Structure 1
Amino acid sequence: MITVVGTGTGAPLSPDAGAALAGAGLVVGGRRHLAAATTMPDTAERVVLGPLAPALDAIEQYLEKPADQGRVVVLASGDPGFFGIVRALAERFGADRLAVHPGVSSVATAFARLGLTWDDAVVVSAHGRALRTAVNVCRAHPKVAVLTGPGSGPAELGAALRSSGRVLVVASALGAGADSGTGSGASTGTGTGTAPDSGSASQSGERVERVTPAEAAARDWGPAVSVVLCLDESRVLSPVRTIAGPPPGPAQWALDEGEFTHRDSMITKFEVRALALARLGPRLGEHVWDIGAGSGSVAVECARLGAAVTAVEKTLDGVERVRANAAAHGVDVTAVHGAAPTVLSDLPDPDAVFIGGGGRELPAIVTACARRARRSVVVAMAALDRVPAVRDALVAAGLDCDGVLLQSSRLAPLPGDVTRLAATNPVFLLWGVRPPARDEGVAQ
């Protein structure tokens, strides 16, 4: 049996966890956890938890010894079943061989320090993972907890969120001075970015600091950061929830044109929008561009489905219209004033792109978007003459191309309580999808 003990955020160990540690023959954990484990026998073997594979190998070798040699105890931060080592241990040794004693997670502790609930928070790990997913989630949601790691800390997160309007709360050395039940009373510092370097937090106690993204980007935070909260402080209080995590998806999409403010019917019709959304596949953690946004109807719908969205519009009144529609639907959309493809060079790479405008520049715009899109590009056109050039641009960028001509007729009333069919203008919808990467040397 392997006993996994969550510690490190100030709460004392349970009696069972303490007894397991007192009878340990092998203890695996980070340096600070091992140093704080005062009830560990002097005779116990110690393995510092750095790279995971050697630690798992050491555990496997120890399990082959007689049972009277003492049990295996793994010390981990907070709740080891929440983005923690329980996953790796269960995969290697089986869940039935684990006895898990969870501590209080860094996420729960950080929100507790602020006096905020977190059942409505989105939690995303950037530890050992690309930061872009965390950035996209922070842009799309008002309450996010980011588990950080080397190269994906507060400075990098702040640099990517400079224009987001968010506030970052950097929680460092949570529970410092109270590890493994050795005591309590750790101090909590709050600051505005002018406090001393939080790299000393492990010596001076925990720190919980509110900073702007720009202030976070300018700091060297050191290794003591526990978690970073990214907040839209105007929306951190939410109604009573039934389901934890991000809000449920919208009850409907492809909304009627009347749900948006638009000019002279310059809006992507809901039939076209429905198929475009199906091909874009916007989702939590991804970034979508809406090029030639107009009213921003596609941008708003993608944001309602959880994606971070950038809408590019060349007219100032169009930019304001996009912002007004986003606000009316309670979502975040970054509206950029400028003409594609020139303005695109300053934007983070997208996962998917919708192009609803472009005129004579359309082939160049499609080429620029298709080169940078990670997954798909969807293009809506009314003019038949532009279809071949758009298709060629998608294919030249290595995307698998397909498309349809959408022609629909809507029910419309006539005098005498009868109904006719009113045809909408036909629209060509082309899409390119990046084929999955193939590993060299692996049979397909």
Structure 2
Amino acid sequence: MSGSPPSSPGGHHAGPSSTLTVVGIDAAGRPPHPGALAALAGAGLVVGAARHLAAVPLPAGATTVTLGPLPPALDALAAAVAAGRPAVVLASGDPGLFGIVRRLRTAGLAPRVLPAVSSVAAAFARAGLPWDGAAVVTAHGRDPRPALNACRALPTVAVLTAPGAGATELGAGLVGWSRRLVVAEHLGTDAERVTAVTPEQAAARSWADPHVLLSLAGSGPCDGMRADDQPAAAPAGGWALPETAYAHRNSMITKSEVRALAVARLRPRLGRLVWDVGAGSGSVGVECALLGAAVVAVDHDPTAIDLVRANAARHGVHVRALPGRAPDVLADLPDPDAVFVGGGGTDVLAAVAARRPGRVVVTLAALDRVAPAVGLLRAAGYAVDGVQLSAARLADLPGGSIRLAATNPVVVLTGELP
């Protein structure tokens, strides 16, 4: 996809403002960044929670706004920025981690950020654990069930808690799951306490608010921890989306039933590159991108390339869409981890196999093309399996009856290098 340089929703340039600074305050009330005191000394407006305002030296004559409801503070900050008046926002830890930076950007304000150590980083440090493969979620100010389910599903999760959605409640929800919990209270203060407990033990006691909860799988220090910095991040809207979720030409689109299997066979994830060859609408590539993969889509038809870009934009993902006829257009592409071939002959498949991706998925409507494709992949060293998919969808009839409407049968071949 292509477009103009990014800007904030309010129309301001994406670069940081010279008049608005967000200063992170650590749990002990110390602003560690060298530029924090200088920013405060020149501020005409300082916004923060009462405990943060009390923790730093405020310049004489500066206006202060104590955070409660956020809209009045945002209005005051916007007015200060518009007038060129230096303003500082005080926030806990790293304000870019589930903090106020997102809200400021949404309001059209682009701050300079001077972070402190986040409470999550501090909690892992106190526990002496790596956290490059951790998922970080929050139960603060929202339904805690997604945070709880993340702890149930993933081996290493940090949860920012809230009253009524803390270690007591999450521990109760994790009873029956093999998890170790670490609860970090009063981080950075004289009252700091880091406690390792079972879910049952967490549920049976009260904890100081707010605290950080670490949910860990396995019995050893790093058992179950991912070493590839790739916590799961499945798309909230799902995958194998209906054809109506995509713009396409005359139903020229990989049907959702076929797409479900193709995407499963491609195994897209963060850190992998997928080619979508003969992309058409780009539905397969878009769904691979939704699951975290980098995607290059190619098609000889410029109209198809426009559809791919439009569909990627519609679903909020980046797909590099290139016009050109395969196999020639493939020559200059970076080596893929997996390739979906939705169009082209054996010359295209041969060019794909020559690049040695770990997995190749091919969809074929014509049966006479199946045997040559299987033979080509096997000759290239791929183990090949295949299935013919023939779906019949429910369709309404007049009078309330229901019939089955058949979709065209498709053969899906999967080649995998040993």
TM-score (norm 2): 0.50
TM-score (norm 1): 0.47
Higher relative contact order (CA 8 A, sep 6+): 1
**Structure holding more helix per residue:** 1
